[in-house]
Structure 1
Amino acid sequence: MTKTALVVIDMINTYEHEDAEVLVDSVRETLPAMRRLIGRAREQGADVIYVNDNFGRWRSHHDELLDAALRGPHADLVEPIRPDEESLFVVKARHSIFYQTPLEYLLKQQDIGHIVMCGQVTEQCVLYSALDAHIRHFRVTVPNDGVAHIHADLAEASFRMMQRNMNADVVPTDEIDFSKG
């Protein structure tokens, strides 16, 4: 039986980009669900993998990205869900968590066949990552209350696309159990 892992997408963020103000409101709304989900994954022994944009900082590593976000104007959105000592970290440069990253190799090495994705942005990075996961034959779950959006209408359409076209389970955070693989 393969394992389940939680992938936290782009939550180490300074929110200094276009549409950040709208996104921040959505992150504030979804943050409690993300905290519960990360806590449950850790309690149940699932790998928690942070996959984060490098924001064009090609010489940085995960600690530098985290430090910049914690010094930023919205550190309160990063602190509650920051990686712990056991968390894994993958840096990405584009929308998909798989595009030119070692994530697929990492998942296979860890015998992970099911990924739960939380984070941001539903209608961008989460949607594209769900498609790439589906193409790679990973089972995908997306908590509809654990991903933040910029455009609510596009987020709703994205959920429908993930369910219909990618066979993703789109469910509330509290229905996700990491012990079931």
Structure 2
Amino acid sequence: MATIRTGNRSALLIVDVQVGVVAAAGNISRQIDAITLAVHKARDAGVPVIWVQHDDDELPRGSAEWQWVPALQPQVDDIRVYKRHNSSFEQTTLEAELAAHGVAHLVLCGAVTGWCIRATAYAALERGYDLTLIGDGHIAKRLDAGNGYAVEADAIVREFNAVLPWLSYPGRGNWVVAAAELVL
């Protein structure tokens, strides 16, 4: 049985909006605008802003590709978490940071929908957190599924936005909202 997180604090979780991660995603200005709006709303509400940054052999820490996209930059008092796996929870300091700040509700945005956003969303719900996905604030890339078949990025985003609210976990809530509708 999963732990149900108590408390009423939220945190904004921005995952992997790094130069090398989003390079093949095409025009992401709409998603960047949505994430920027969410960051402003979180800061205005005094909600912790947590930046999760991926590194591995293909995305080495400190490289130009590892850096945040220029439009999104953490502030000195924001929380930084570093990861090497798709889920932002696996072998990271994220759970300790959330516990230290009394967080029971995560607001999730970032990249890439089919991997790190999906893995982080499921991991959050499985660990007992309520979850809000910013529906216009996650970035997908076209998926080559082999044999001449591909899934376009916008289809991946639409699918995850449609599926997430239907997931059922005891004692937890999960929602999808546009950044403009986000209330913290």
Same fold (TM over 0.5): yes
Correspondence 1:11 to 2:17: yes
More strand by share: 2
**Partner residue, 1:24:** 26
2:179 to 173, 178, 181: 173
**Distance in 2 of aligned mates of 1:156 and 1:38:** 22
What secondary structure sits across from 1:81 in the alignment?
Answer: coil
Sequence identity percentage? 24
**Distance in 2 of aligned mates of 1:14 and 1:169:** 29
**Partner residue, 2:57:** 56
- Aligned residues of 2:136 and 2:179 also touching (Cα < 8 A): yes
Q: Mind listing any 5+ residue stretches in structure 1 that lack a counterpart? A: none
**Partner residue, 2:120:** 129
- Aligned residues of 1:92 and 1:100 also touching (Cα < 8 A): yes
Shift of 1:58: 9.4
Choose 107-116 or 47-56, whichever is displaced more. 47-56
**Partner residue, 2:39:** 38
| Runs of 4+ off more than 3 Å | 57-60
Correspondence 1:84 to 2:85: no
Correspondence 1:94 to 2:96: no
- Aligned residues of 1:127 and 1:162 also touching (Cα < 8 A): no
More helix by share: 1
**Partner residue, 1:158:** 160
Across the aligned residues of Structure 1 and Structure 2, the Cα RMSD in angstroms comes to 2.3
Shift of 1:149: 1.3
Computing the radius of gyration over CA atoms, which structure comes out larger, 1 or 2?
Answer: 2
What secondary structure sits across from 1:46 in the alignment?
Answer: coil
The code of the aligned residue for 2:163 comes to M
**Distance in 2 of aligned mates of 1:159 and 1:28:** 19
Shift of 1:31: 0.9
- Aligned residues of 1:120 and 1:148 also touching (Cα < 8 A): yes
**Distance in 2 of aligned mates of 1:24 and 1:84:** 26
**Distance in 1 of aligned mates of 2:29 and 2:45:** 25
Choose 112-121 or 155-164, whichever is displaced more. 155-164
Choose 153-162 or 87-96, whichever is displaced more. 153-162
Q: Mind listing any 5+ residue stretches in structure 2 that lack a counterpart? A: 1-6, 142-152
- Aligned residues of 1:2 and 1:114 also touching (Cα < 8 A): yes
1:103 to 94, 97, 119: 94
**Partner residue, 2:147:** none
**Distance in 2 of aligned mates of 1:14 and 1:135:** 29
Q: TM-score, normalised by structure 1?
A: 0.81
What secondary structure sits across from 1:124 in the alignment?
Answer: helix
Q: TM-score, normalised by structure 2?
A: 0.79
The code of the aligned residue for 1:14 comes to G
Superposed CA deviations along residues 78-125 of structure 1, whole A, max 9, x for unmatched, are 222110111111101111111111211210111000010111112221
**Partner residue, 2:106:** 115
What secondary structure sits across from 1:125 in the alignment?
Answer: helix
Q: How many residue pairs align between the two structures?
A: 163
Shift of 1:174: 1.4
